[in-house]
Amino acid sequence: MTNELQRRLLIAEDDPDDQLLISDALQEAGIPARNVQFFDDGRALLDYLEQRIDFNGVVLMDLNMPRMDGREALKTLKRSPRLRHIPVMVLTTSSSDADVHLTYATGGNTFFTKPTHFDELVKIMSLVKRYWVEQARLAKPPEM
């Protein structure tokens, strides 16, 4: 099996319309739906990851969500010795310098502002596929 078939993409996004747009853009970019899983907030994403001992993939996260927003979820994930190796990309409507700074300062790997046109979203998802799915070597989970 290739990395593309094994690597998972977990997405924390609370807006159902954005979930659908992201899903469509991922499919157009060539990432199979079977490799993608959506969560409605950061807490649900972390609960899922905490139950997995051998997660192979990356996280794409919105910043503005109910219950646990992406800022807090990113901080929590990067503080966890078992989860901090997981790459996290932010995809959000925010374009504030403070959010960009916070993302990188807390261990985020990439910051994207949600585009207003679908073709731009497809370009972002194509970049995600090309780098994070096909080329990047991911760290294995630490032995606990």
> Domain spans of the chain?
3-134
Q: 111 forms bridges with which residues in the sheet?
A: 90
Instruction: Give residue 91's Cα distance to chain centre.
Output: 8
What string of pLDDT tens digits covers the 144 residues of the chain? 344 447 899 999 999 999 999 999 999 999 999 999 999 999 999 999 999 878 889 999 999 999 999 999 999 999 999 999 999 999 999 999 999 999 999 999 999 999 999 999 999 999 999 999 999 999 887 776
Q: Which fold has domain 3-134?
A: Rossmann fold (3.40.50)
Task: Give this prediction's pTM.
Answer: 0.91
Q: Is 96 exposed, middle or buried (0-12, 13-18, 19+ CB in 10 A)?
A: exposed
- CA–CA separation, 2 and 70 (whole Å): 30
The residue type at 127: L
